[in-house]
Amino acid sequence: MATATKGFDGPLGKASAVVMARMNRDMEIAAVDALDLQPHASVLAIGFGPGVGVEELARRLPEVHVCGIDPSAVMVAHATRRNRAGADAGRVMLRRAGAESIPWPDDSFDAVVAVNSAQLWHPLDTGLAEVARVLRAHGSLVMITHRWAIERRCSPDAWVTDVAQCLALHGIETASSTKPFRSGPGIVVTARRRAGPPTTAPGA
């Protein structure tokens, strides 16, 4: 898996899961708030960590089917325990995988959500292309990412521009903003997939 898991597996991963469940909760709730979901929708959570956002989706929207991927075996185990009832009922399905290779067919989901994981997608454009592949027409995308996590790699403005340009090639229109959260400012990207064909990349 190309997605980095350093710090999210082994004994350190177990400690990280506890911290993430507490510190990222408000971001997870904000991401669920931003999703525009109809009853019986299918949602994909990418990089679900300890599963707080998956739990919130399943609790708040009992008719929604939630799938999720995370490259960390520790996080998959934590999230599965947290969402045992939903998994046993067939409403929650969690798998170990990275954003660069989503294990579901084209047009599988009405919405995709990613909280503090997109900064770890390598390469970013491959992960975004995979999101576009599995997202249905008119489907929605919500990505919330710590600004400080992006700053470790590049300019946040440049990152937002790269995300918007890449998604536009796949027919997905984006908007972005910065909002305060308990663990620091977060960059919020919301997007909607158009029904028409995607824009052709220059030179393609």
Record the pTM: 0.88
Query: What residues are paired with 135 via a beta bridge?
Result: 109
Q: Check residue 20 and give its pLDDT.
A: 67
Residue 7 to residue 10: CA distance in whole angstroms: 8
Angstrom distances, CA of residue 55 to CA of 24, 72, 89, 200 = 13, 18, 13, 38
pLDDT score of 3 more than 70: no
Q: Which of 107, 131, 125 is nearest to 45 (CA)?
A: 131
Task: Compute the average pLDDT of residues 125-150.
Answer: 97
Instruction: Please report the domains of the chain, with CATH numbers, ordered by start residue.
Output: 10-193 (3.40.50.150)
Token pair listed for 51: 């599963």
Question: Which tens digits make up the pLDDT trace of 42-65?
Answer: 999 999 999 999 999 999 999 999
Cα–Cα distance measured from residue 81 to residue 83, given in angstroms and rounded to the nearest whole number: 5
Asked whether the beta carbons of 64 and 89 are under 8 A apart, the reply is no
CA angle 155, 159, 161 (to 5 degrees): 115
Percentage of residues in the chain having pLDDT higher than 90: 77
pLDDT at 194: 85
Q: Are 154 and 123 in contact (CB under 8 A)?
A: no
How far from 169 is each of 9, 13, 94, 127, 163, CA to CA, in Å?
34, 35, 29, 13, 10
Per-residue pLDDT tens for 153-194? 999 999 999 999 999 999 999 999 999 999 999 999 999 998
Can you point out the beta strands (E) in the chain?
A: 42-46, 65-70, 92-96, 109-115, 135-146, 172-179, 186-193
Query: Mean of the per-residue pLDDT values for the chain?
Result: 89
